[in-house]
A and B are shown apart, each in its own frame.
Chain A
Amino acid sequence: MRKVSGFWLSSLGGIGALVCAAMPALAASSGNRAEFAPLATPLGIQIQPLGTAAGYTLSAEAAAGTPHVSVVFANEKGMSLYTSDADVDGKPMCVDECAKTFIPALAPANTGPSVEGWSVVDRSDGSKQWALRGKPLYTYVKDVDIGSVGGNSPKTWGRGELVGPRGYLRGPMPKDQPLPDGWHAAMFFPVEKPLPPGFRVRQVEDVVGLVLTNQPGHTLYVLDGDVNKEKKICGNMAACVQWQPVAAPRVSAPYGDFGLVSRADGIKQWTYKGKGLYTYAGDLVPMDANGIDAHAAWSPAYIARHFAPPNVKVSTSRKLGKVWATAQGQTLYKRQGYIYQSGSGHAARRGDTVRPAVGRDIGTNPRCRKECDMWHPFLAPANAQASGYWDVATRADGQKQWVYQGYALWTYDGDKVPGDINGNDTFDFFVGQDNKTVIDPGIPYDWPTSLYWIVSFP
């Protein structure tokens, strides 16, 4: 086991003292804080991006893509899951020969805490099969790699015979093979949630989950308290003006989890699960979530949160906003393959493109060329299970390592205090120096390439 430096041990003690001091306040709080928000996926169920967002291509489209454009539920190995129209009333009908083409997605013995919409159904042979909203789930024998749907591999968009060495298409791409009639990929989006007009559900990265937003896309927050006492709760005028109640039109009526409260100031305010809804003035653009740590009484209006390992948290870095960190606050990094981005943007927050295929190519071998003894794998327990965007890789030494969005995670000894990101943007170039040695960066390349360390954003 890696020896933990004295600094981090003392930090753990200090953080523990702070947590203990804060515990009474946390215990009094309830409802929609992240730790109480429902999970989006059970243990053993992943989320995988499809198409060019899988990251196989080296082209400019990959630089512009995001991993959340089109995502599918997948099994613990990352293989896409499917439902069948023939399965009614939760009973799996695909058996015998059918089950050789559409293979039942069997549930593990430990499925962790129950997750809304997910269940386990019994098969006729006594095995347990995953079901989503009552529909049994299967994988497809023609899917050969992660991100495949209907037997159509995302690799065709970036690699293989149809793609030239510089990522261009050599000819027209063949049409996607269709799925057999009655079969459908179990897509993560759109999220089914009854909403009154003016509301949306969006995935906000810094919140690590799905939250309510207003129509323009600004994150909404709930107040853990009486809306008519918000001035007392927020403490001072400067803090209070940051929180703006989400006003409802006069003719509004309660709808599902959404209710209404008449405030003393005459505003009719929307509530979600009984708690007043607000926007935060510090959120300047859609997808901002700067209100996360602004005040203990306000928390994001979660629909569902994504799984994160118990010893991981979202931490505020020195200059790049929210990043993944260990429970002690040590920043987590990934090893990334460089992609040429004319016009820069690389140094901007989230200017780096997430490409799970590249992360898988690099795997747990960072091919480090300098300061190698300062980088340490972020290990997972032997019984760790994949869920959501998190996966577990088996290292060459047999240990398990946490993987996020395809990239194995690491810590850096050069980070001394929480918030440090001193390993960010450290490059190792792979340039062949002679006519004898073929370079091996572990990733496809079509010009001088490099691997670099970069913080892992949620």
Chain B
Amino acid sequence: MWRSSNLTRSVATGFASLVVCGAAMTASAKPAQALETRSYAMAWFTAAMNSTENDCPGGVHPSIQVQYHKNLLDLGYPPAEAAKLIEAYVSGDDDEQVSDIMLMRGRINGQPVNGYAHPGAVVDPQLTHVTAKEGFGFNLDGKDGPMNFTDPLTKEAGVDNQLSRALGCSNPFRGTYNVKPGLWLFRWSTMRDTTPAWLMTIAGEDLDTDGPITVIFDRAMEHLIFNGDGEARPDITYRADTDPRNHTVLKGEIKDGMIRITEHGRLQLMQDILGGGQLVLDKTHMRLTRTNTGNLDGFLAGFQPWEHLYFEIGQGGPASEDMSTGELPGKWHLMRKMADYDPDPSTGQNRSISATYRVEFVPVFVARMKNGEFVVGNDGAGEGGK
């Protein structure tokens, strides 16, 4: 239940050096039907995984050493030679040979090519995928089929989260409701100190009661600010970047204390290239509840271009493959097979994959550009960042 004291968050306070006209805002007469707004910064953004025992037939993906051994055999290396190469790789006596072979394990017209840059030219290593029945997310397309999950929290059937099915058998990508997957945890933690924060403003007539709302996403001009414990600090003022690529307005509702998006349009937010360069979600769904600290916690989902995701996890190439992600072209093949939206008109190959993210927001203030100045408490409903 929203508390009335939260209403004060919509009054301009903020840092004097960042905010202009705060006093003027509070002194001026409010329009008769001004909306209440509350703003938040995204504190955490990680894939929503529901890893369980026995959710991967034959177990999780093997270690990279085992996988490289298999790759060598797939490339036609005699078993004895493959074993010798792997032994040298594992011992460190000569790990460059295997690294160089793996780098160039793609084949085009019989010629070796960079396998990370040409995953389609690498023989599909047939990695396993998740076969569990329960997974977090939403029914994005209104259908229910054998590849869909049932959400363990809402019990919604037909949940689309093919990304978790594709990557969930690889250890760095496994996680639970309470344990963030290691790779996403690492990337978000690495990026957030220097990459501009993601912002969300909710606007409605009365945010303490059920009713329609507008949900506005923007990217900040500042990076996330933290407390000494490493958690995002609330009550900071951020300026919303006026770059139109970062501004999304969707309809939503508050119902039974939960914030939801009801207009399932496209969400677009620029991101550090470590995070794939851009978050693009089609048929965006979201549900958030308020925690006892005032934060918002929940899920954000949609169909996401999987080429972005491959680049996000693959851009470290052999270093990433060895130390974190595991076999990379194999994951490209998995995402390609699991992709479930936006078919290419010429090939029919789906270009997007359903994905669900676990998100957490902290309450903050957002100053948006209005008439050439940044103003906190700007009613962003419908006005955007201009």
Contacts and interface: CB of A to CB of B under 8 A. Distances in A.
Contacts of A402: none
A449 interface: yes
A448 B274 contact: no
B114 interface: yes
A1 interface: no
A390 B41 CA distance: 41
B120 A433 contact: yes
Contacts of B311: 429, 431, 448, 450
A447 B317 contact: yes
A177 interface: no
A196 interface: no
A346 B272 contact: yes
Contacts of B196: 347
B191 interface: yes
Interface in A318-361: 318-319, 338, 340-348, 351
Contacts of B320: 447
A250 interface: no
A116 to B, nearest CB: 41
B188 to A, nearest CB: 10
A448 B117 contact: yes
Contacts of A165: 100, 103-104, 114
B194 to A, nearest CB: 5
B274 A344 contact: yes
B339 to A, nearest CB: 12
A62 to B, nearest CB: 15
B244 A422 contact: yes
Contacts of A166: 99, 103, 317-318
Interface in B314-342: 314-320, 332
Contacts of B100: 164-165
Interface string B237-255: 0000111110000000000
Interface in B189-243: 190-191, 193-196, 221, 223, 241-243
A450 B108 contact: no
Nearest to A436: B108
A249 B144 CA distance: 82
Interface string B86-117: 00000000001001100110111100011011
Nearest to B195: A347
A340 B120 CA distance: 22
A432 B104 contact: no
A340 B315 contact: yes
B318 A447 contact: yes
B224 to A, nearest CB: 12
Interface residues of B, number: 49
Interface string A226-263: 00000000000000000000000000000000000000
A344 B244 contact: no
A384 B100 CA distance: 45
B18 to A, nearest CB: 12
A431 B318 contact: no
Contact of B118 (A319, A344, A439): A439
Contact of B317 (A340, A341, A346): A340
B282 to A, nearest CB: 16
Contact of A434 (B99, B120, B244, B314): B120
A445 interface: yes
B67 interface: no
Contact of A344 (B193, B245, B307, B319): B193
Interface string B284-319: 000000000000000000000001101100111111
A432 B272 contact: no
Contacts of B190: 342-344
Interface residues of A, number: 42
Nearest to A430: B117
Contact of B117 (A168, A347, A431): A431
B278 interface: yes
Given A422-B245, A429-B311, A347 B116 contact: no
B106 A432 contact: yes
Contacts of B114: 165, 445-447
A318 B274 contact: no
Contact of B108 (A319, A348, A420, A438): A438
B273 A452 contact: yes
B310 A448 contact: yes
Interface in A404-441: 414, 420-422, 424-425, 427, 429-439
A432 B311 CA distance: 11
Given A319-B221, A448-B314, A348 B117 contact: no
Contacts of A414: 244
A210 B231 CA distance: 42
A445 B314 CA distance: 13
A351 B311 CA distance: 20
A348 B194 contact: yes
Contacts of A341: 274
Contacts of A448: 116-117, 310-311, 314-315, 317
Given A346-B273, A427-B273, A427-B277, A338 B120 contact: no
B121 interface: yes
Given A340-B317, A346-B273, A431 B307 contact: yes
Nearest to A429: B311
A342 B316 contact: yes
Contact of A445 (B117, B193, B195): B117
Contact of B277 (A421, A425, A446): A425
A168 B96 CA distance: 10
B181 interface: no
B108 A437 contact: yes
B274 A346 contact: yes
A436 B121 CA distance: 7
Contacts of A338: 273, 315
B168 interface: no
A85 B291 CA distance: 77
Contacts of A425: 270, 273, 277
A431 B119 contact: yes
A377 to B, nearest CB: 22
Contacts of B273: 338, 346, 425, 427, 450, 452
30 contacts: A165-B104, A165-B114, A166-B99, A166-B103, A319-B241, A338-B315, A341-B274, A342-B190, A344-B191, A344-B193, A344-B194, A344-B274, A345-B194, A346-B194, A346-B273, A347-B195, A347-B272, A422-B243, A431-B117, A431-B118, A431-B310, A432-B106, A432-B117, A432-B119, A433-B349, A434-B121, A436-B108, A439-B118, A447-B315, A450-B273
* Pairs A-B, 3 closest by C-beta atoms: A447-B317, A432-B118, A427-B277
Interface of B: 96, 99-100, 103-104, 106-109, 113-114, 116-121, 190-191, 193-196, 221, 223, 241-245, 270, 272-274, 277-278, 307-308, 310-311, 314-320, 332, 349
